[in-house]
Chains A and B, each alone.
Chain A
Amino acid sequence: MSAPVRAAIVATGQTDHGRRFDTSMAEIAREAIDRCLESRGLHLDDIDAVVAGNMEMFEGIYLVDQLFVGALGALGKPLYKLNTGGTVGASTALACYHLVASGRHRRVLGVGFQKQSEGSTQAAITTVGDPIWERAVMAGAIGNFAAMASTYIADSGVTPEQAAKVAVKARRNACLNPHAHLKMPDITVEEVLASEMLAYPIHRLDMCPASDGACAIVMAADQEAGKLADRPAWVHAVATAHDQQYMGDSPKRLAVMRSLQAASRKAYALAGIEDPLRDFDVAEVYEPATYAELAMCENLQFCAMGQGGRLIDDGVTFLDGQLPVNPSGGVLSTNPVGATAMIRVAEAAMQVMGEAGAHQVPDVSRALATGYGGNAWTDVMILSAERPR
């Protein structure tokens, strides 16, 4: 069995996410890339390979990586383009990891970007559905998440109030994140429950926004990492699990998140995580809706199955709790789909590197990042301040 080259995230950069009519797609990707490189005094010449993530059907640009090759800093370099859906930002980060861990490259730039204001989000999401089996009866992301949430409610008994607390946590945390799209300092549970019902039980404030934004990371090999960052975020484990082909193949879609269980278990074993609640200091999970975060906490073994509501009632996942979940504000606050999972990875890395500013969790040694998307697909990355042995 091969031992990987040790790899670490040494730099991150994000745009100010939101409605960015002031930028083109190329400019928004570049904004994240420039911030990422400038944070360490790096130049594009220092980068050996580039991995780009963007869901091209949203803005409607085929071969988007080829069109924007210059803006992506990939001219004359190996360039990989991924489009795995909601997970794409994390898949991109994982590809950066593999390109370094395999010994192929020393410094790899990963960038996820999306300008959802430039396309029809609904139309793009419709094309997620299988054209033969699913498209005729789709109800968009919202109908899908609402039906998923019902599976979770039925199994766990989680209440709308508990779900609303996730929204409150997210939008208040976002106020401490200069990059976040939605910031609501005064949001309350009552306000969430009073917001427009989109599809039962999902209220408007239970749901993530559609954003314009980009996020970039530099993944570096062992000897490089120590030179580039004082406190690199070392990759201890990566895992991917993609569930079956059709949306209903896992009928308990949110109650039992098969791919999240499979990927997290593999990653925990690789990283020596025995008790996630105790072993992680922070987690950035990909929660497209409030109920999803609670279900994810269960399926990630932060608590027993069915206890996700209790977990948030006890304040465990709040910024001052035992295991802060999504101190950045999460997907509920910012969602440029091509970047969103990369933002989870970057935010987890920032926490390890001590660069999360106002939303920094104290004394972070180990962080968890997850990506979610497609048909219940999952990516997991575990980062640590300690170099893997």
Chain B
Amino acid sequence: MNAEAAHTFNRDQAIRIEQQITLRYRFAAGAHATRFFTALRDEGKILATRDAAGNVMVPPRPVCGLSGLPMTEWVEVGPNGVLAGCTIVYVPFIDPMTGTQRPVPYGFGLVRFDGADTAIYHLLDATDPEQIGVGKRVQAVFKPPAERTGSLADIRHFKILD
């Protein structure tokens, strides 16, 4: 249909078919994630992998893309860190884990754990939005051990340290 026809096309004429496909997956977390999330859940520890060049990466992984070297050492990092990036989100977004809207506003940011070269995205405690800023020191706030399931959500959020 050319542009002319498109402009005269009456929107009420358009037939649109509603369809939903439910795709279910069973992802294997793998060796590195299993070790990381087990430590997170059972010990409240944050682990990273390190290569011979001294790169320390979270999430842990078999090989470092920067050096090309295997990441054979495991080290503990955090639980404090630095905000590399941050925002307060006002627009509602469907939480993929619950299928419902996450209450807004909430804090969201890039956290680089002490000792790590990379950062991870996570939620931020937005009780006092003025406190949130790049460079601020943050601390992981864990869920109580009984509530942890071995996922990133075992950390409830990061709070800004004074």
* Chains A, B in direct contact (C-beta < 8 Å): yes
CB-contacts of A1-56 with B (<8 A): 16, 20-23, 27, 31
Assess whether B138 is interfacial by the CB under 8 Å rule. no
The answer to whether residues A248 and B93 also contact, given A22-B9, A154-B134 and a CB cut-off of 8 A, is no
Please determine whether A249 and B118 come into contact, CB atoms closer than 8 angstroms.
yes
Please determine whether B85 and A147 come into contact, CB atoms closer than 8 angstroms.
yes
Q: Which residues from chain A contact B61 at a C-beta distance below 8 Å? A: 245
B interface bracket (residues with beta carbon within 8 Å of A):
35 or more
Binary flags per residue of B75-92, CB closer than 8 Å to A gives 1, else 0 = 000000000111111110
Assess whether A76 is interfacial by the CB under 8 Å rule. no
Q: Which residue of B lies closest to A243 (CB)?
A: B65
Q: Which residues from chain A contact B102 at a C-beta distance below 8 Å? A: 139
Assess whether A387 is interfacial by the CB under 8 Å rule. no
The answer to whether residues A21 and B16 also contact, given A198-B91, A199-B91, A244-B65 and a CB cut-off of 8 A, is yes
Please determine whether A135 and B84 come into contact, CB atoms closer than 8 angstroms.
no
Please determine whether B86 and A150 come into contact, CB atoms closer than 8 angstroms.
yes
Q: Which residues from chain B contact A246 at a C-beta distance below 8 Å? A: 59, 118, 120
Binary flags per residue of A139-181, CB closer than 8 Å to B gives 1, else 0 = 1101110111111011000000000000000000000000000
Please determine whether B152 and A136 come into contact, CB atoms closer than 8 angstroms.
yes
Assess whether B146 is interfacial by the CB under 8 Å rule. no
Q: Which residues from chain A contact B160 at a C-beta distance below 8 Å? A: none
Q: Which residues from chain A contact B119 at a C-beta distance below 8 Å? A: 248-249, 251
Interface-lining segment among A125-133, A269-277, A295-303, A315-323? A125-133
CB-contacts of A80-132 with B (<8 A): 122-123, 126, 129-132
Q: Which residue of B lies closest to A131 (CB)?
A: B27
Q: Which residues from chain B contact A183 at a C-beta distance below 8 Å? A: none
Assess whether A60 is interfacial by the CB under 8 Å rule. yes
Q: Which residue of B lies closest to A247 (CB)?
A: B121
Number of interface residues of A (CB under 8 A): 52
Nearest-CB distance from A225 to chain B (Å)? 27
Nearest-CB distance from A293 to chain B (Å)? 18
Please determine whether A200 and B88 come into contact, CB atoms closer than 8 angstroms.
yes
Assess whether A138 is interfacial by the CB under 8 Å rule. yes
Assess whether B141 is interfacial by the CB under 8 Å rule. no
The A-B contact count (CB < 8 A) is 152
Binary flags per residue of B121-139, CB closer than 8 Å to A gives 1, else 0 = 1110000000001110000
Q: Which residues from chain A contact B33 at a C-beta distance below 8 Å? A: 132-133
Q: Which residues from chain B contact A147 at a C-beta distance below 8 Å? A: 85-87, 108-110, 121
Assess whether A236 is interfacial by the CB under 8 Å rule. no
Binary flags per residue of B1-33, CB closer than 8 Å to A gives 1, else 0 = 111011001010010100101000101011001
Bound Cα distance A122, B133 (Å): 26
Please determine whether A16 and B6 come into contact, CB atoms closer than 8 angstroms.
yes
Nearest-CB distance from B99 to chain A (Å)? 10
Please determine whether A136 and B1 come into contact, CB atoms closer than 8 angstroms.
no
CB-contacts of A229-288 with B (<8 A): 243-253
Assess whether B159 is interfacial by the CB under 8 Å rule. no
Please determine whether B84 and A199 come into contact, CB atoms closer than 8 angstroms.
no
Q: Which residue of B lies closest to A123 (CB)?
A: B94
Bound Cα distance A129, B95 (Å): 12
Assess whether B151 is interfacial by the CB under 8 Å rule. yes
Bound Cα distance A132, B31 (Å): 12
Assess whether A304 is interfacial by the CB under 8 Å rule. no
Q: Which residues from chain A contact B112 at a C-beta distance below 8 Å? A: 248, 251
Please determine whether B134 and A60 come into contact, CB atoms closer than 8 angstroms.
no
Q: Which residues from chain A contact B21 at a C-beta distance below 8 Å? A: 60
* 26 A/B residue pairs, CB under 8 Å, sorted by A: A16-B6, A122-B94, A126-B96, A132-B30, A136-B151, A137-B123, A139-B87, A139-B93, A140-B91, A142-B91, A142-B93, A144-B121, A146-B87, A149-B87, A151-B110, A154-B134, A200-B90, A244-B66, A244-B118, A245-B65, A246-B118, A247-B120, A247-B121, A249-B57, A252-B84, A253-B110
Query: Given A136-B153, A198-B90, 18 more contacts at CB 8 Å?
Result: A27-B1, A60-B19, A122-B93, A129-B96, A134-B120, A137-B121, A139-B87, A139-B106, A142-B89, A146-B87, A146-B108, A147-B87, A154-B134, A154-B135, A197-B90, A244-B66, A248-B110, A248-B119
Interface residues of A (CB under 8 A from B): 16, 20-23, 27, 31, 60, 122-123, 126, 129-140, 142-144, 146-151, 153-154, 196-202, 243-253
Interface residues of B (CB under 8 A from A): 1-3, 5-6, 9, 11, 14, 16, 19, 21, 25, 27, 29-30, 33, 57-59, 61, 65-66, 84-91, 93-94, 96-97, 102, 106, 108-112, 117-123, 133-135, 151-153
